Structure 1
């Protein structure tokens, strides 16, 4: 019994030490948890900031796609349209505000003669041969260049007000194609015939 009494203080000391150790361990664990929680909150804030930045950039990019550049300089300088990339560029230049300006510019060119000839002041022969209004018969579709096409329709409507503008344009483009086919046929028959063609065109 006396041995038990003598051991009690030691047992109490060990129990107290164990309890204090557990308390210290718990405190350390709570500290770690607080640190982890702080890191999670910090990372969450960074993610939210990044998300906001991405949304802002996305909105800016979308707005840039919808903004059309304003036409600069004299629209007359954009004609004739020689290549497909020029066709795309001019179409991109034409906005709701500049549509009338381009229509007036094209009207001036179209009034210089018969439409089957004056259309060459708007488009190069290469464009006229490779395109038609609706993209049929393995040709490219001029209507795909919507802003330019509408301005052209406005211009033709003022030059040929009694006929549907699309019909007038289709006829003019067919005339160019037929003329080119005839020239090609003559050249195939006589390799030097292009000299006569150029001389005749110059006299007309």
Structure 2
């Protein structure tokens, strides 16, 4: 074999090796890279997929509903907190009754204002609701306070009218519970009735004590 033939065969072998190195799964690397690059270019040049108008409208509507629900939930939470706070304040006011002394009555009348007067009205309503003011004034004013006052301050008594803030909420509560008649007239009768009960009970207790003392002699 001639030297020229040997050189040709060597060149062919090198070419075959080079081709196998450049090939991937039988596809030349250059061609594969070119195809991949072309595919990438095709994707980059492809226009973005547009969201249809109906779909966009549905998304906007859903978002709007979510915002409305969130706002409603926030308002409801705030309302519940406000109601809980008011309920707690109402219970605190209700525990102040019955008023035990003239000093306590003076203090309460000074505490009542336009902001909290409804709490006092509701508290008094609770105390006189079952049976009305005639039966339940004792749940609002103790005997000690009732004996010290009457409505107009006559016969040496203090005037309940002068405790104007308390007097106003008391009349409002009576009106709401009784529904008929003059609240002031009903209060006068209730004060007189409670005083009569007190003196009657005091007289009975006195007679009972005297009777027991006589038996022990």
- TM-score band by shorter chain is 0.5 to 0.7
Superposition pairs of residues 169-180 of structure 1, within 5 angstroms: 169-180=187-198
Change (3 A) 1:178 1:146: same
- Check whether the contact 1:110–1:121 (CA below 8 A) recurs between aligned residues: yes
Q: Are 2:183 and 1:153 aligned?
A: no
Separation (CA, whole Å) in 1 of partners of 2:195 and 2:113: 30
2:180 match: secondary structure: coil
Q: Give the TM-score normalised by the residue count of structure 1.
A: 0.56
Q: Are 2:118 and 1:100 aligned?
A: yes
1:4 — aligned with what? none
- Runs of 4+ that moved beyond 6 A: none
- How many residues end up aligned between the 2 structures? 124
- Check whether the contact 1:187–1:193 (CA below 8 A) recurs between aligned residues: no
Q: Are 2:208 and 1:186 aligned?
A: no
Superposition pairs of residues 86-165 of structure 1, within 5 angstroms: 86-165=104-183
5+ residue gaps in structure 2?
1-88, 213-217
Measured against aligned partners, the alpha-carbon deviations of 1:23-67 in whole angstroms (never above 9, x if no partner) come to xxxxxxxxxxxxxxxxxxxxxxxxxxxxxxxxxxxxxxxxxxxxx
Separation (CA, whole Å) in 2 of partners of 1:177 and 1:113: 18
Separation (CA, whole Å) in 2 of partners of 1:85 and 1:193: 37
Change (3 A) 1:179 1:73: closer
Superposition pairs of residues 25-104 of structure 1, within 5 angstroms: 74-104=92-122
5+ residue gaps in structure 1?
1-70, 195-204
Q: Please say which structure displays the higher CA radius of gyration.
A: 2
- Check whether the contact 1:133–1:141 (CA below 8 A) recurs between aligned residues: yes
CA RMSD across the alignment:
2.2
1:74 match: secondary structure: helix
- Check whether the contact 2:90–2:119 (CA below 8 A) recurs between aligned residues: no
Of 176-185 and 100-109, more deviation after overlay is shown by 176-185
